[in-house]
Amino acid sequence: MNDEDRLHRLAWSVIAFGYACKAYICNNSFEVDDRDFLVGKGILLQEELDVVAMQKGWQPYYFLAVMRAVINQEYDALKVTANTMDVGVAHHMAIESSINMLSTTMRGMIRVKATDLPQEYNSFFLAIYVVLFTVASLRFTPDIGWWTPVALGDIYHVVRIIMVIGNGMEDPIGTTVLV
């Protein structure tokens, strides 16, 4: 990019896009969570942050639109100054393709956020815990004696890992505290 202001605007939009995605997935407004950082570091002006904050649910897409606008401005500027646009068109299309991939990624995050595990998931594993460990204790104690807690501890950890993986899929950003 020839214009350094446009280059910084593009870079800051990419940074803000990441923060907006994180806030969206965590059901927050990034205006609230990251105001001090974004404005303090000069990534966004307070006025722009206020505009974006009014667009609940679409904040990441705002920054995709800003990225596209910056790239189109740069492309228009290059078109005026250059006789041949072969390299400029290739760069413009490559960046546009990257922005499209970010948009596709955002749609995937929305699907992950909207797809919850059934309520019965944790209840099922709790019932399995009670039945498995009660029956296993009664069954294994006569045969393996004092090794029963060790064997049941191993089984517990396997079942717990399955439960943590399921909860992790439900909450990919990690906002829920897993016990």
Q: Which pLDDT tens digit goes with each residue over 13-47? A: 888 888 888 777 777 766 666 777 888 888 888 88
Can you read off the two tokens belonging to residue 128?
């399995």
Number of H helices, E strands in the chain: 8, 0
CB 67 within 8 A of CB 60: no
48-67 CB burial, b ≥16 within 10 A, e <16 = bbeebeeeeeebbbbbbebb
Q: Which pLDDT tens digit goes with each residue over 70-127? A: 888 877 766 655 555 556 667 777 778 888 888 887 777 777 667 766 777 778 878 8
DSSP string over 69-108? HHHHHHHHHHHHH-S--HHHHHHHHHHHHHHHHHHHHHHH
CB 136 within 8 A of CB 155: yes
